[in-house]
Amino acid sequence: MATLTQLSPAVREKYEPVIGLEVHVQLLTATKIFCSCSTRFGAPPNTNVCPVCLGLPGALPVLNRKAVKFAVLAAQALNCQIRETSIFARKNYFYPDLPKGYQISQFDKPVAEHGWIEIPCPGGTTRRIGITRLHLEEDAGKSIHDGFPAAAASTLIDLNRSGVPLAEIVSEPDMRSPQEAYEYLTLLKEIILYTGVSDCNMEEGSLRCDANVSVRPRGQEKFGTKTEIKNVNSFRFIRDALEYEIERQIEIIESGERIHQETRLYNSAEGKTYSMRSKEQAHDYRYFPEPDLLPLVVDARWQAEIRHTLPELPEARRRRMVAEYGITEQDAQVLTVTRTLADQFEEAAKAAKNPKRVANLVQGELMGRLKAKGLEIEQSPVSMKGVAMSADLLESKTISGKILKDLYDKAFENGEDFPVVYEREKPQQVTDSAAIEKIIDEVIAASPKQLEQYRGGKTTLIGFFVGQVMKASKGQASPEMVNDLLKSKLG
Ligand SMILES: [Zn+2]
């Protein structure tokens, strides 16, 4: 982690960080917010453009209804109040990737305000982080500084992204540590993903985050001067950047100097932030109501209609799954990491006799193998139906854990589902007690030293004997029978 080595923990402890986050999420509409151009990522530069998103004079914006619906849905998931009448405003600034010279955004009347989410804290408690507002706006284009031959001498502009719909989610300055900022972002992303309004893909820029951070002596009410860290491309880097920036600010204050309000960039390779420009104030943008758009009205009826489509959110889902399937909170945490995984788990849990066993198999047998192969749950060769079947076979003791592992290995090797592999291999568990006893006798005869120790009181050696018998039976002996028979023979 990035640290300035000079700062002693005692000095660091004197100050309290204050952090607020601004998150932009790209809404998953097929077309842009004010025109019918495609929002598809990765198209050749400047092919998804028209007079509206190029900002040509006289072109008129038409609001995308789905973008509004998605923004309202996200706002409802974040416990915001929806404003019945909100206003689009022009945010004026010059930048090469903004041909109009202004961005259509929302200013003093955003579509939603006064929300909150509860982030997990150490010790199993939670802390409520306020969400000041969620507003709709259009994205700007993109300046390209490398990747093309001509880029060596000049900057290229791609306007495919110009006019892509964004929801900007602004938090209250409620976070008090980089870790809390990390938790907030993780939970926010999880909630947005559950609503389905964005894919939150940071590599493709569909989730971007700016952080405002200041420090103040502990106990002081008044906020210190803040700096803004822009466009950091992973949550881990944001945590590191904040860590660095907090220490930098404390050092400046400790040396008797003042913090300058400015925008800073984070260099992840060096673990440091650098000054980019002095921070703009809202009045620098000369906001005024967008004259080409009517006020946006989301009446109570439409709000209710949208709320009706709100899915069960991660926290509520975890609580229900713990109660419904008898799984642990830890299981629920892992199994709800994405909505798809949770859906798939529930499908298997409902089909199987013992849902807890399904939870164990998904985590113990499926996820590790998926990770090793670099696969997503959707690409798993073993379907949830297959997981449910394997859980039932284990439950009825038709196969042992060892055989199950082998079958999963084969399924992943061949890219086949569990039932296919099982039907072909049809591994039978040996439940013939005479056959198992014969193996046990052989194992005991071959391990006189362990036998003596066991009879001398070292009963934990039972595990050794079970292991040897299972190995000798190529994993096919019923572990339960092996245990019972061994105990009686050894005893
Ligand atoms: Zn367009």
Could you read off the pLDDT of 437-474 as tens digits, one per residue? 888 999 999 999 988 998 888 888 888 888 888 788 87
Residue 103 CA to ligand 1 centre (angstroms): 14
133 exposure class (CB count in 10 Å sphere: 0-12, 13-18, 19+): buried
Tens of pLDDT, residue by residue over 64-109, are 999 999 999 999 999 999 999 999 999 999 988 999 999 999 999 9
Distances (CA, A) of 127 to 75, 116, 118, 120, 287: 19, 10, 5, 7, 34
No. of H helices and E strands in the chain? 18, 16
> For residue 377, what is the DSSP state?
G
For residue 17, the model assigns a pLDDT of 96
**Residues lying with their CB under 5 A of ligand 1, a single-atom ion:** 35, 37, 50, 52-53
> For residue 431, what is the DSSP state?
-
Residue 32 CA to ligand 1 centre (angstroms): 7
Checking if the pLDDT of 302 tops 50, the result is yes
Tens of pLDDT, residue by residue over 171-202, are 999 999 999 999 999 999 999 999 999 999 98
Residue 125 CA to ligand 1 centre (angstroms): 47
Please tell me the distance from the alpha carbon of residue 279 to that of residue 213, in angstroms, as a whole number: 13
Please tell me the distance from the alpha carbon of residue 487 to that of residue 401, in angstroms, as a whole number: 20
CB 486, CB 438: distance < 8 Å:
no
Residue 31 CA to ligand 1 centre (angstroms): 8
Distances (CA, A) of 469 to 340, 407, 438, 451, 482: 41, 20, 10, 14, 7
pLDDT band at 2 (very low <50, low <70, confident <90, very high): very low
Residue whose C-alpha is closest to residue 100's, from 164, 65, 56: 56
Checking if the pLDDT of 310 tops 90, the result is yes
Mean pLDDT along residues 258-266: 91
pLDDT band at 486 (very low <50, low <70, confident <90, very high): confident
Please tell me the distance from the alpha carbon of residue 275 to that of residue 25, in angstroms, as a whole number: 25
Q: Which residues are within 8 A (CB) of 411 and not within 5 positions of it... i.e. 6 or more apart?
A: 381, 382, 386, 417, 418, 420, 421
Residue 53 CA to ligand 1 centre (angstroms): 4
Residue whose C-alpha is closest to residue 163's, from 290, 87, 54, 86: 54
Residue 414 CA to ligand 1 centre (angstroms): 46
Please tell me the distance from the alpha carbon of residue 71 to that of residue 410, in angstroms, as a whole number: 45
Residue 422 CA to ligand 1 centre (angstroms): 54
Q: What's the alpha-carbon Rg for the chain, to the nearest Å?
A: 30
CB 32, CB 39: distance < 8 Å:
yes
Torsion angle defined by CA atoms of residues 43, 49, 54 and 57, in that order, rounded to the nearest 10 degrees: 170
Q: Tell me the residue type at 219.
A: G
For residue 139, the model assigns a pLDDT of 96
Q: In this structure, what token pair is assigned to residue 110?
A: 């955003």
Residue whose C-alpha is closest to residue 160's, from 61, 51, 66, 39: 39
Looking at 69-73, 120-124, 234-238, 297-301, which range is the least confident one? 120-124
pLDDT > 70: percent of the chain:
97
Please tell me the distance from the alpha carbon of residue 363 to that of residue 387, in angstroms, as a whole number: 11
For residue 1, the model assigns a pLDDT of 43
465 exposure class (CB count in 10 Å sphere: 0-12, 13-18, 19+): buried
For residue 282, the model assigns a pLDDT of 63
Tens of pLDDT, residue by residue over 239-257, are 999 999 999 999 999 999 9
Q: Give the chain's length.
A: 491
CB 52, CB 163: distance < 8 Å:
yes
Residue 108 CA to ligand 1 centre (angstroms): 26
Residue whose C-alpha is closest to residue 239's, from 183, 166, 164, 155: 183
Residue 292 CA to ligand 1 centre (angstroms): 16
pLDDT band at 280 (very low <50, low <70, confident <90, very high): low
Residue 360 CA to ligand 1 centre (angstroms): 49
Residue 458 CA to ligand 1 centre (angstroms): 78
> φ, ψ for residue 240 (rounded to 5)?
-65, -45
Residue 110 CA to ligand 1 centre (angstroms): 23
